[in-house]
Amino acid sequence: MIRRLQNTLKDSDFKEILTKGFSFLLIRIVGTLLSFAFTFYITNTYGKVEWGLIALGFSIFTIISIFGRLGLDSNLVKFYSQYENLQDTGVFYWAWLKVFLFSTLLSLIVYNFGEALVTDVFLKPKPELLPYLNWLLPSIPFWTTVFVSAAIMRARKMNRAFAFYTLVGRFGILLLIILLMAHDNVLFIIKSHFFGLICLSMMSLVHAILILKKPTFKTDQNTWGFVKEALPMMLSSSILVLMSWMDTFVMGVYENEADVGIYSVAVKITTLTTFSLQAINSILAPKIAKSYANNETINYKKFIQFSTKINFIMTFVVVGFIVILSPYLLGLFGQGFEAGVSVLIILCAGQMINSLSGSVGVVMQMIGEQKMFQNFMVSALIINLILTLILTPKYGGSGAATATVLSMIFWNIAGATYLKKKKNIQTYFKPF
């Protein structure tokens, strides 16, 4: 085992994936701990109902944010991972401007129909949600700015900076405000979230400008063509986020706020299983894009197989830990949250299959197969929507979790099979 590890570290590319991936993982852990601390504070201070409302608000916030980015953050990673494109800084500024304006437009549209949303869409009306949305929606353009700016850092393999802005900064600043300005009104926290994102977006934008060095809108690229190229990535990413948050939203449609709160906490604990995949993908994406563009077939296949093996092993360990300690982990958030054990186990099973399939989405997007990946994701979204609407009214949280897992299994297996048959790229893990 030790000899094998030593041989692995001799390979500079494997070493980079492990070391930079590990640094990303550490920052991801810090970000998750901050997120958990925030959830713990809300559930223990205000209870399941208030957390349920905040979880619903965050689901709407996240879904609109992913559409607002237009997929340009992913396309910027692909573009600026190639060294010769670093001189064309105008692409970034046009991308940021389009994203900021488009996400603002989406926020205004939803804001205008906010009252109808909270009273007519939910079978159990939730007018208490409206004040939260009135502060969450205006913060969306600033959150999209963070992702577009951080894309430059990801493309240049500045993983620690990328992880800070996208994973740590949001809840880090929010908790700092809460500590400095403690307030009994839960709405104060959502207002703090808004002002915190303004600060974080300004920090990330300035950082990106300093990296690119040439603040200009001049570019040789067709910026609308760049948007058109990014749209399949946006649709695929949007569908992935929709599937991640649709269950929480549909739970809000059929169930009360307390049940939504319990389900949301189970989902949050499940995110612990995605640490390794996110850490590996943070460095894998630009490496695949660069190797594929240079026709270095052996290299990118080697990266993919190595990353899949590492991800599976780490996910297996984390899933085992969560399943064994599931009642205790849920109980940390307050009385009654233990009811989410079945949901937690179902979601963990889905993540195990996800880890077996490998980084299907990243590989397909970085080798130019974003349209095919989009097709798989559209099909998965339809499956998810149908199953969620059928299973949630009958089985509550367990039904919503099952629908999410089955749709996840579909797109992972479909993507892995396509890459193997059409591109001779093996993303899945073969234990034996």
Let me know if residue 10 belongs to a domain.
Answer: yes
pLDDT at 221 over 60: yes
Distances from the Cα of 80 to the Cαs of 14, 86, 219, 359, 410, in angstroms?
22, 6, 13, 21, 32
Q: What is the pTM of this model?
A: 0.70
Dump pLDDT digits (tens) for 262-279.
Answer: 888 888 888 777 766 666
Task: Enter the tokens of residue 234.
Answer: 């946006």
- 176, two tokens: 């700092």
Written as one letter, the residue type at 368 is G
Q: Given this model, what pLDDT does residue 377 score?
A: 82
Positive or negative, the CA dihedral 421, 425, 431, 432 is positive
Indicate if the pLDDT at residue 14 is higher than 60. Answer: no
Task: With respect to residue 429, please indicate whether it lies within any of the assigned structural domains.
Answer: no
The tens digit of pLDDT for each residue in 344-391 reads: 899 888 888 888 887 777 778 777 777 788 788 888 888 888 998 888
Judged against a pLDDT cut of 80, whether residue 235 lies above it is answered with no
Average pLDDT over residues 223-236: 74
Whose tokens are 């900021």? That residue is 100
d(CA 123, CA 121): 6
Backbone angles phi, psi at 87, to 5 degrees: -75, -20
pLDDT given at position 192: 87
Report if residue 80 sits inside a domain. Answer: yes
In a domain, 354, yes or no: yes
Q: What's residue 189's pLDDT?
A: 85
Average pLDDT of the segment spanning 42-59: 84
Residues 67/137, Cβ–Cβ less than 8 Å: no
Q: What is the pLDDT of residues 278-334, one digit of tens each?
A: 666 666 666 777 777 777 777 777 777 777 787 788 888 888 888 888 888 888 887
pLDDT band (50, 70, 90) for residue 147: very high
Q: What is the pLDDT of residue 188?
A: 85
Residue 428 forms part of a structural domain: no
**If pLDDT is split at 50, 70 and 90, which confidence band does 213 have?**
confident
pLDDT digits over 390-418, tens only? Answer: 888 888 888 888 988 898 888 888 888 88
pLDDT digits (tens, 9 = 90+) for 84-143: 777 778 888 888 899 999 999 999 999 988 888 778 777 677 788 888 899 999 999 999
Q: What average pLDDT is seen over the chain?
A: 80
Task: Name the pLDDT band for 249 (thresholds 50, 70, 90).
Answer: confident
Whether residue 233 contacts residue 74, with contact meaning beta carbons closer than 8 Å, is answered with yes
User: How far is CA 228 from its chain centroid?
Assistant: 22
Asked if residue 431 is part of any domain, the answer here is: no
Number of domains comprising the chain: 1
In a domain, 340, yes or no: yes
Q: In this predicted structure, what is the pLDDT of residue 202?
A: 93
Q: Which of 178, 184, 362, 180 is nearest to 278 (CA)?
A: 362
- What pLDDT score does 393 carry? 85
Residue 199: which domain range?
A: 2-423
DSSP state at residue 157 = T
- Report how far residue 63's alpha carbon sits from residue 120's, in angstroms, rounded to the nearest whole number: 19
pLDDT at 232 over 80: no
243 in any annotated domain: yes
Residue 275 is given by DSSP the state H
Confidence (pLDDT) at 106: 92
| List of residues 6+ apart from 289 with CB closer than 8 A | 77, 78, 81, 82, 366, 367
- What pLDDT, on a 0 to 100 scale, did the predictor assign at position 146? 93
Instruction: Judge whether residue 430 has pLDDT over 50.
Output: yes
CA distance 175 to 202: 18
Highest mean pLDDT range out of 62-71, 156-165, 178-187, 234-243?
62-71
Locate 281 and state its tokens.
Answer: 């993908």
